[in-house]
Amino acid sequence: MAPPSNSTEPLESYRSGPDDRGHFGMFGGRFVAETLMPLVLDLEAAYGKARQSPEFQRDFDYYATHYTGRPSPLYFARSLTETLGGAKVYFKRDELNHTGSHKINNTLGQILLAKRMGKSRIIAETGAGQHGVATATVCALFDLPCVVYMGATDIERRAPNVFRMKLLGAEIVPVTSGTGTLKDAMNDALRDWVANVEETFYIIGTVAGPHPYPAMVRDFQSVIGREARSQILEAEGRLPDTLVACIGGGSNAMGLFHPFLDDPVNIVGVEAGGYGLDTEKHAASLTGGRPGVLHGNRTYLLQNEDGQITDAHSISAGLDYPGIGPEHSWLHDQGRVDYVSVTDSEALEAFQLCCRTEGIIPALEPAHALAHVAKIAPKMNKEQIIVMNLCGRGDKDIFTVADALGIKI
Amino acid sequence: MNRTDRVALTFERLSAEGRAGLVTFITAGDPDLETSQQLMERLPGAGADLIELGMPFSDPMADGPAIQAANLRALANGISLHKTLDMVARFRQSNERTPVILMGYFNPIYQYGPARFVRDAVESGVDGLIMVDLPPEEDDELCDAARTAGLHWVRLVTPTSDEKRLKQVLRNTSGFIYYVSIAGITGTRSAAAGAVGDAVGALRQHTSLPIAVGFGINSADQVRQTGEIADGAVVGSAIIREIERNLDSLGVAKPQLLKRVSELVSALAEGLRS
């Protein structure tokens, strides 16, 4: 969207990226093997056509409404607000989506594109299993075979989601290379793609990977921010003061933030601080990493001095990724979005706070966002408004939480 | 190019001998720095005409299980990009003739600093670079510096490179072309010889550079077949697997490792000299 034309000084728009080479400033791009380049270019062309197509848009909206259950409510968390004693806190309830998280917004968009492109096989990577479930779901719906790469370590940690994917007909490939987590799953999915170039469509789960994925996934997820923007205008007659969302790769955050980037709204992304940024056990790529190249794009990464990627750690498997979407890296360097981090134990406290005050069991991912909300809301006045993306429900996390609390179930 | 162009001289010599060259790939520092150094120094004597030296990376997304494991072994034993360049410098103390091409992924070089890397690579006696994850669209920050400094910039051409793309890929390519014979990762399947022959033939319409073929070449027989259609045959995973077979249960090189791997390389080279 163009910035307002009546300003005396031309306003820079934060919503116009990426450029035609897929760059957000110095970030993004297409750092892939030559074998994949023609595929990535095909995908870019096909997506470019699809996004202009009223029919594609109609299909996307149809399934969003009747299958996913959009729009998701924007809910005033009264009890939490009173407990925190400051700003009004609203939850964007994307945990109420079919499959229990925001991931379905993106997988629906991509599978509709895969169908348009005549692809006959779907692959995906998954960490916590939410994207894997969302991909297996749309593959069942559209009757396409689905192969999900998942780190062997994550498979152990996420047995319920593994079973869900199997029920939905997906084949799960355990990834033992590297450290057996999300980054390795993504490596193996890329290796599969390079070996099955003709028929396979790779549904990437976050706003990372080679161009056009970061922009495409953001576009599909931006339904969150578009809805939230009109919902808050309707509820409060004005824009919020602050947006808060958690960030692993950053798709739920990008989806909420993007429609607000040119508005006078504070925006905060919350990374997973694990045991703390002063330890090596965290997943905060922006606040604890530096720019590098991995998985097809240039972005902030956790890495050692020699450029070897280091392991991320978070209590939340969905945030356990050593990189971040390139647009976030750009927004960070531009100073448009503030990026902070929250530790495992702070997230765990916020998780319980949400259960007790609102009767909502959140996923551990948005519990990170909530932990930050709990820090800032009391310092804000009662007329101010925070909108937080409650991007996933926590059923999948009850074992992890019980374990962390030292409770046997 | 002011420096001795070892790549050009090598392909000229091979052409005079009427045979294709054997290009051997090993991962720098695999299984440990000293063994890897000694292995590298033995490769020419065993029959390698060019050496591709892999720069280890934690996330080698275009490589199959064998080379992935080699990367992790090397990293676990303390390899770094700096030490990789030192390996080449040490190799050059006893070998001025065999070209050394570094192959790998961009991030370690990006962290090292492209300009500093190019300078140090030239100083160490490196002859060229193959960058797996730098397609023409993204390679300007390294390609220009490398070519200006006299390093060859060897690009990969693949079965998915169509005519239009080929022009873009061949621009700025120097030394030789690396034709990736399958759409896939290293060390998995092999291409049908006929298909590779057709592809190399088509490629020759667009370039006069020598063409080396790699991915999925495991045996002396495959090396010989490849040598009939191309100017070089690249063997990587098969050599890495031989290294793997000569490690003890703790991953330490057994005493016979160097001998066994050299024997394999000699056997592969035999396919091009009969």
Domain boundaries along the sequence of chain B: 6-273
Name the residue of chain A whose CA is nearest to B178's CA.
A34
CB A142 within 8 A of CB A111: yes
Q: What is the pLDDT of residue B168?
A: 93
Contacts of A42 in chain B (CB under 8 A): none
Closest-CA distance of chain A to residue B55, Å: 11
Of B140, B139, B180, give the one whose Cα is nearest residue B159: B180
Nearest by Cα to A251 from A79, A350, A125, A86: A125
- Give the separation between CA A223 and CA A214, rounded to whole angstroms: 15
Q: Which residue ranges of chain B lie beneath pLDDT 70?
A: 1-2, 274
Pick from B60, B109, B135: CB nearest A34: B135
Q: What ipTM is given for this predicted complex?
A: 0.96
Residues of chain B neighbouring A195 (CB-CB closer than 8 A): 182-185, 188
Q: What pLDDT is attached to residue A7?
A: 41
Chain A positions touching B72 (Cβ under 8 A) are 178
Pick among B55, B79, B107 to test the A interface (most A CBs inside 10 A)? B107
Rounded CA separation A143/A158 (Å): 25
What pLDDT does residue B163 have?
Answer: 86
Question: What residue type is assigned to position B240 of the chain?
Answer: I
Nearest neighbour of B185 by CB, restricted to A194, A295, A296: A194
Say what the pLDDT of residue B162 is: 86
Q: How far is A389 from chain B (nearest CA, A)?
A: 32
Q: Which of B61, B106, B156 lies at the smallest CB-CB distance from A34? A: B156
pLDDT of residue A153: 83
Taking an 8 Å cut-off on Cβ atoms, the answer to whether B72 and A32 are in contact is no
Per-residue pLDDT for chain A (409 aa), expressed as one digit of tens each?
333 344 444 458 999 999 999 999 999 999 999 999 999 999 999 999 999 999 999 999 999 999 999 999 999 999 999 999 999 999 999 999 999 999 999 999 999 999 999 999 999 999 889 999 999 999 999 999 999 999 998 888 788 899 999 999 999 999 998 778 899 999 999 999 999 999 999 999 999 999 999 999 999 999 999 999 999 999 999 999 999 999 999 999 999 999 999 999 999 999 999 999 999 999 999 989 999 999 999 999 999 999 999 999 999 988 989 999 999 999 999 999 999 999 999 999 999 999 999 999 999 999 999 999 999 999 999 999 999 999 999 998 999 999 999 999 8
Q: Note if the bond before A212 is cis, omega within 30 degrees.
A: yes
Nearest Cα residue in chain B from A23: B138
Nearest to B175, CA basis, from B146, B139, B215 = B146
Task: Tell me the C-alpha distance between B257 and B37, whole Å.
Answer: 13
Q: How far is Cα B145 from Cα A372, in angstroms, rounded to an integer? A: 45
Residue A54, exposed/middle/buried by CB under 10 A (0-12, 13-18, 19+)?
exposed
The whole-angstrom distance between A145's CA and the closest CA on chain B is 20
The partner residues of A90 in beta bridges, in order of sequence, read A76, A387
Is residue A277 packed enough to be buried (19+ CB in 10 Å), middle (13-18) or exposed (0-12)?
A: middle
Q: What is the 3-state secondary structure (H, E, C) of chain A?
A: CCCCCCCCCCCCCCCCCCCCCCEECCEEEEECCHHHHHHHHHHHHHHHHHHHCHHHHHHHHHHHHHHHCCCCCEEECHHHHHHHCCCEEEEECHHHCCCCECHHHHHHHHHHHHHHCCCCEEEEEECCCHHHHHHHHHHHHHCCCEEEEEEHHHHHHCHHHHHHHHHCCCEEEEECCCCCCHHHHHHHHHHHHHHCCCCEEEECCCCCCCCCHHHHHHHHHCHHHHHHHHHHHHHHCCCCCEEEEEECCCHHHHHHHHHHCCCCCEEEEEEEEECCCCCCCCCCHHHHCEEEEECEEEEEECECCCCCECCCCCCCHHHCCCCCCHHHHHHHHHCCCEEEEEEHHHHHHHHHHHHHHHCCCECHHHHHHHHHHHHHHHHCCCCCEEEEECCEECHHHHHHHHHHCCCCC
Contact by Cβ (8 Å): A245, A389:
yes
Task: List the single residue in A32, A38, A301 with the smallest CB-CB distance to B162.
Answer: A38
- Across the interface, whether the CB atoms of A191 and B134 are under 8 A apart is answered no
Contacts of B135 in chain A (CB under 8 A): 30-34, 37
Answer whether A294 touches B (CB < 8 Å).
yes
Give backbone dihedrals phi and psi of A91, rounded to 5 degrees, phi first.
-105, 130
Q: Which of the residues A306, A311, A321 would you substitute to probe the B interface, choosing the one with the greatest number of B C-beta atoms within 10 Å?
A: A306
CATH, range B6-273: 3.20.20.70
Structural contact between residues A155 and A122, judged by C-beta atoms closer than 8 angstroms? no
Kind of pairing between the strands at A290-294 and A296-301: antiparallel
Rounded CA gap, B37 and B88, in Å? Answer: 9
Q: Which residue numbers of B are catalytic? A: 52, 63
- What per-residue confidence (pLDDT) applies to A1? 38
Q: Rounded distance, CA A27 to CA A283, Å? A: 19
Contact of A135 with A170, CB cutoff 8 Å: yes
CA pair distance B177, A387, nearest whole angstrom: 55
Pair type for strands A266-274 and A242-247: parallel
Closest CA to B60 of B137, B139, B132: B132
Q: Which of A186, A193, A184 is nearest to A114 (CA)?
A: A193
Token readout for B145 is 């510096």
A303:B111 CB<8 A? yes
Which pLDDT score, from 0 to 100, does residue A323 have?
96
Contact call for residues B64 and A187 (beta carbons, < 8 A): no
Within 13 A of A32's CA, how many CA atoms are on the CB side? 28
Burial of B251: CB neighbours in 10 Å, binned 0-12, 13-18, 19+: middle
Distance CA A284, CA B255 (A): 44
Would you say the C-alpha torsion A47, A51, A52, A53 has a positive or negative sign?
positive
Q: How far is A106 from chain B (nearest CA, A)?
A: 24
The CA distances from residue A193 to A57, A149, A188, A199, A396, in Å, are 27, 12, 9, 9, 29
Q: Which pLDDT score is estimated for A157?
A: 76
